[in-house]
Amino acid sequence: MNYEKAVEAAEFIRSKYTKEIKAAVVLGSGLGAFADEVENAVIIPYEQIPHFSRSTVEGHAGRLVLGEVGGISIAVQQGRFHYYEGYEIEQVVFPVRAFRVLGVKNLILTNAAGSVNTDFPQGSLMLIRDHINLTGINPLRGRNDERFGVRFPDMTEIYALDYQEIVINEARQMAQEKAARREAETNQKQTVNYFLRRGIYCGLIGPSYETPAEVRMLRLLGTDALGMSTVAEAIAARHVGMKVIGISCITNMAAGISDDIIHHEEVMETGAKVAATFKELLRRVVARIGF
C-alpha cells in the first residue's frame, strides 16, 4: 500500500489537469460511452500514468478522461483493472487511491452484472444498496498506511445512503419525464418504465461465469446481481474516506436463471443498448453530487 506511488500518479495527473475534480467515475464493461460526454477532455492513456497498470479486457479502453460534464470537473476511468486479469489487488484499487490523493471525495463505480433476481431484467439498472465480497481477497490486506485510513474501517454504509436517494430520485424523474414526453407525442396514456432497481451486488473473482448451483446458492445468500469487479474498489474508497455510489447495468440473467448461456458479447451489447439511459443518469447524478 504505497502512499508515495499514489502521490506520484496524482502529481502526474495534476500536471495535465489542474481543476478541482469533484468526482471520479469508473466505467464498467460496455459502458465506456459515458466518456464521450466529457467536455474539454484531457485524455491520458493508463500506460503514461506512473504506477497505473494496463487494461487487458475487451470493452475497456484503458485511459483516464478528465474534463467537465455539465460544468462539473470529473475524472473518468474508461476501463478498470480486474483481479482475474492477474493484477495484484493493490493494482486494482490503485486509481482509487490516486484519486484520493488528488482530493477527489466522490466515487461512482459502475459495472456490468448478471441478474439473480427475476424482477431485475436484462437492460435494467441496479443501484447497489450493499455488497457481498466473495472474491476471497481484501484490498486492505497487508500493512496499513494510516495516511490512507484506519486499520479496521467500518463498512456499515459503504454505499452512501444520501447519494442512493439522489440516484433513485433522478432515475424516477427520468422515467416520468420520458413517459410524459411520449404522452405528448402520441396523445396516449403511457405507463412509466421505472428502470432502476435497488439491490445487493455480489463480487466474485471470475473470469469464468458462475455455475447454476452457485447462482442458486448466491440467491439464497441475498444476492440480486453479481459480477467480477467493484467490491475491492468500494472497500478501498471507504478506507480513504470517499463517498461511493455503485450502479450495475444488468446485462444478462445469471447462469441457470434463464436457459441462455452467457457470453461477453452479450454483456457488451446490452451495455450499448442502455447507454443512453445510463449516460443521462450519470450526468444527472454528477450534477447533484458535484457541488
Question: C-alpha angle 218/222/227, rounded to 5°?
Answer: 55
Nearest residue to ligand HPA, by Cβ distance, number only? 114
Residue number with CB closer to ligand HPA (184 or 220) = 220
Query: Closest by alpha carbon to 92, among 57, 54, 118, 119?
Result: 54
**What span, in angstroms and rounded, lies between the C-alpha atoms of 227 and 126?**
12
**What span, in angstroms and rounded, lies between the C-alpha atoms of 270 and 114?**
11
**Shortest CB 253 distance to ligand HPA, Å:** 8
Residue number with CB closer to ligand HPA (77 or 223) = 223
Query: Closest by alpha carbon to 204, among 174, 225, 176?
Result: 225
Residue number with CB closer to ligand HPA (62 or 114) = 114
Residue number with CB closer to ligand HPA (23 or 27) = 27
Binding site for ligand HPA (CB under 6 A): 112-114, 209-210, 226-228, 251-252, 254, 262, 267
Q: What is the DSSP letter of 85?
A: G
**What span, in angstroms and rounded, lies between the C-alpha atoms of 36 and 275?**
11
Could you list the active site residues? Answer: 29, 60, 82, 84-85, 112, 228-229, 252, 264
**Shortest CB 112 distance to ligand HPA, Å:** 4
87 CA to centre of own chain: 18
**Shortest CB 29 distance to ligand HPA, Å:** 7
Residue number with CB closer to ligand HPA (144 or 258) = 258
**Shortest CB 179 distance to ligand HPA, Å:** 29
The alpha carbon torsion through 80, 135, 108, 119 (nearest 10 deg) reads: 120
Mention every residue, 6+ apart, whose C-beta is less than 8 A from residue 282.
25, 34, 37, 69, 108, 110, 247
What is the number of H-type helices and E-type strands within the chain? 7, 9
**Shortest CB 254 distance to ligand HPA, Å:** 5
